[in-house]
Amino acid sequence: MKPRTTGVCSKSAEDNAARWRRDFPLLSTRSHGQPLAYLDNAATTQKPRQVIDAISRYYKTGNANVHRGSHDLSNRATTAFEQARSTLARWLGIDNAATLIWTRGTTEAINLVAQSWGNTHIKPGDRILLLQSAHHANIVPWQLLAQRTGAVIDVIPLQDDNNVDLDAYRRLLQRTPKLVALTHVSNVLGTRYPIKQMCRDAKSAGACVLVDGAQALPHFDVDLSLIDCDFYAFSGHKLFGPTGIGGLWGRQDLLESMPPWQGGGEMIEQVSFTETRYAGLPFKFEAGTPNIAGTMGLSAAINYLQKDRTAQEAQEQMLMHHALSACSQVPGFQALPGGDQPAALFSFLLKGFHQQDIAHWLDQKGIAVRAGHHCAMPLMQSLGLPGTVRASFAFYNTLDEAERLALALDELISSQQSQIDVPTVTAPTLNTDPVYDANHWDERYRALMQLAEQVERLPASLQQPEHQVPGCESRVWLITALDDQGRLACRADADARILRALVTLLLQRINGLTPAEATEVDLEAMLASLDLQRHLSPSRGNGLLAIVRHLKTFARSPHS
């Protein structure tokens, strides 16, 4: 790795990071005995004391339901609740706060539009235009709408550099879609799309436009008065605010014409058993008791961001570029292109390593990243990838953390190169003692990774969907069979090394047994003895249990 850049800029960046980090209590914790390097900010950000204190203060001194009470405490809660809405509206360039609807987050906001506006306006044969790199939250609600209405979905492709293909986009607009659902910033690639231009083009084609802003607002200010969209959705927990709160902005005329999507208290003006008159904006779309404390926390987060926004954005860009520069020196490292003006995140591959194995290795080093398809499976399919590792930065990250990421990846490469080259052998002759004899998890992890390299792989002809075990975080193929003596002779493979090793251990315990004998083997206890649950992600642990259930089901099934 190249030495860190020195000078005034670097010193200033480190001073800023140190100042900001003091506001985030969780960042001082440790993970697996290492200082935590939290590089999973695109999934959710950490929360400053100001946000935590605002939520605590509400529950300690102002807890009451809003809009409905006739007492002082409720009036004060209502005032603070609506002030939070006004704070967000001003920040987003919204001139009428009543057009800002509280939701649980981006997903609920998009579903609100799909259910209310979509059910009213989309008819059979209408076209819905989606972006290739969209998050599932900006795909699935529109698929459900298309299924309900008979609409047709078209997809805007990306170029090789992962910028949007604007020529293809304009050709698709010639089909006069009723709805165009866009993404401001890709949660996988970091690509910042030309949203103003795309919205103008869509409006010129007569389309209604929704923008998913979940990954944009954490990184830069957005003035909705300058974006010609009809709806803008966002989440608070990515904005250094609490979970369970977010918002939908919509054009006033559209919102007023849309029917409620949920019924109950708060969203009504008058109810009888023969007729209900609905409340005006924003309450028509806010049935039930809202997340009052969440709005207080989100308002505090916005107030916090507004103090140093320019410096924070510059810090994030510097960190991302520094991390990319350091990681690019690691053999086999490949970052996916992020377009012309990427936000502070990147997805990458490491030649010869499955993304889940990489993330697990980094986790043991105290580095939190995200691995998988990132809720963007159509994008991964278009790229021909099962998934990637994603490192995403916030202003409170440091140069040291960026360099720790590169160093850990380099150590992973070195750890595999230093292993003894053992010829591929079949499962019955494998020596699995190092796995069971390991004194600590690092030693066991290395033994598992080395075991995976010795396991005979399934041929491609058997790595087919019909043999894939559902419920696994990685792809696992399991061939259940009996030999000519009626004993288990199962085979398995996985694209992640650690799962390949673990499923090999499972098969080693039951292969050669009769089905009746296999049902008596406590595979869960064997896995527990390896202390896996503390070190594997819940989804990966659940995947292992899914494999165990699959094996037991086969052993218990009738065999002719």
pLDDT winner (highest mean) among 13-22, 318-327, 450-459: 318-327
pTM for this model (two decimals): 0.85
Nearest to 103, CA basis, from 248, 207, 268: 248
Nearest to 495, CA basis, from 381, 370, 365, 385: 385
How far is the CA of 82 from the CAs of 77, 86, 89, 292, 457, in angstroms?
A: 9, 6, 10, 10, 60
Residue 417 pLDDT greater than 80, yes or no? no
Amino acid found at 241:
G
Nearest to 335, CA basis, from 396, 385, 279: 385
Give the distance from CA 346 to its chain's centroid.
Answer: 13
pLDDT tier, 467 (very low <50, low <70, confident <90, very high otherwise): confident
- 398 and 14 Cβ atoms separated by less than 8 Å: yes
Q: What is the pLDDT of residues 286-326, one digit of tens each?
A: 999 999 999 999 999 999 999 999 999 999 999 999 999 99
How far is the CA of 102 from the CAs of 83, 87, 88, 258, 458, in angstroms?
A: 13, 13, 10, 16, 51
pLDDT at 422: 33
- The average pLDDT across 38-62 equals 98
Would you list the DSSP string of 415-460?
A: HHHTS-----B-GGG---HHHHH-SSHHHHHHHHHHHHHHBPPPPT
pLDDT at 427: 41
pLDDT tier, 193 (very low <50, low <70, confident <90, very high otherwise): very high
Residue 397 pLDDT greater than 80, yes or no? yes
Residue 428 pLDDT greater than 80, yes or no? no
pLDDT: which is higher, 364 or 55: 55
Q: Is the peptide bond before 282 cis (omega within 30 degrees of 0)?
A: yes
Q: Is 258 helix (H, G, I), strand (E, B) or coil?
A: coil
- The average pLDDT across 529-556 equals 80
pLDDT at 6: 45
Of the given ranges (5-9, 308-312, 327-331, 456-460), which has the lowest mean pLDDT?
Answer: 5-9
Residue 1 pLDDT greater than 90, yes or no? no
Supply the residues annotated as catalytic: 375
